[in-house]
Amino acid sequence: MKNWPNTASRDLSALLLPGLTLLLVLILWEALVHLSRVEAWILPGPIAIAQALWEAKGLLWLHSLQTIYETLLGLTIAVVAGIVIATLIDWSQGLRKAVYPLLIISQTIPIIAVAPLLIIWFGYGLLPKVLVVALVCFFPITVNLADGYRTVDPDMIRLMSAMGAKPREVFRMVKLPASLPFFFSGLRIAGTYSVMGAVIGEWLGASRGLGIFMTRASKSYLTDQVFASIFVITGLSLVIFLFIEGLARIAMPWHYRQKETVL
């Protein structure tokens, strides 16, 4: 409790400084647009973007619901698949040697190159968008969790085994708690990319979603609406990140208490 004022001031500055920086950027942006008299279809100012956001709020909300649905489905699949694969390659050294390099190699393939194949194979429905999100989110979750399993203190594992603990108990009581920070680190990365994955899938063919909204707006040279959709995508990504951060604080409160003690 003695450190509460210092902690509160740090949290306040962590919020104020980025906010003030963003406000300054917006003011400079608006001033630049007015002074240079650039056409609105090339670069609209923040005020024009805010107006477009308000005028299209109903349409943006409708498209956002579809994108959120695709995002949550794909992220859920990635989490389940990532936990299963990471756990399996931790249990089997041979499987790690066989699968882990393939996970690394898979990241050299741009997702924008894979997405058209998914459209060809599965059509223009929901499935290819969900699969794009899952592919985008799968790697950081799997690799971070697999690395987290490997960082567990081997002396602790040997001590538990010497005390008669079964492998399942060692995993539950030692490996799982120690790997949670790594898992949530990967989940934060996946969460921030998940919405963008859904939008990429929608770019290639969809009837609803923020990706198709952006495509239609750009073809009509409604640049202010394109920026408005970017703002919505950023907001959704931030909400997912904050939700994951909240889950992390609930799942491993000892980790955050330790960090606050260090600070």
Range of the domain at 32: 15-44
Residues 96 and 194 in one domain: yes
Instruction: Give dist(CA 200, CA 111) in Å, integer.
Output: 9
| Structural domain includes residue 4 | no
Are 19 and 117 contained in the same domain?
A: no
Average pLDDT over residues 104-132: 86
- Total domains in the fold of the chain: 2
* Mean pLDDT value of segment 92-96: 83
Residue 103 pLDDT > 90, yes or no? no
pLDDT band for 171, please (50, 70, 90 cuts). confident
Could you tell me if 38 and 168 lie in one domain?
Answer: no
The whole-number average pLDDT for the span 60-65 is 94
From the CB of residue 168, how many other CB atoms can be counted at a distance below 10 Å?
8
Residues 75 and 198 in one domain: yes
Mean pLDDT of all residues in the chain? 85
Which pLDDT value is given to residue 14? Answer: 65
Segment 238-258 shows an average pLDDT of 86
CATH number at residue 206: 1.10.3720.10
Is residue 256 a part of any domain in this protein?
A: yes
Q: Same domain, yes or no, for 154 and 214?
A: yes
Residue with the larger pLDDT of the pair 191 and 169: 191
By percentage, how much of the chain surpasses pLDDT 70? 92
Which segments of the chain does DSSP mark as H helices, in order? Answer: 4-36, 46-55, 57-91, 93-106, 111-122, 126-150, 154-162, 167-170, 176-203, 210-219, 223-251, 253-262
Same domain, 80 and 164: yes
The proportion of the chain whose per-residue pLDDT surpasses 90, expressed as a percent, equals 43
| Within a domain: 7 | no
Q: What is the mean pLDDT of residues 1-9?
A: 51
Mean pLDDT to the nearest integer, 236-252:
92
Q: What angle do CA 53, 46, 208 make, to 5 degrees?
A: 30
Q: Are residues 92 and 220 in the same domain?
A: yes
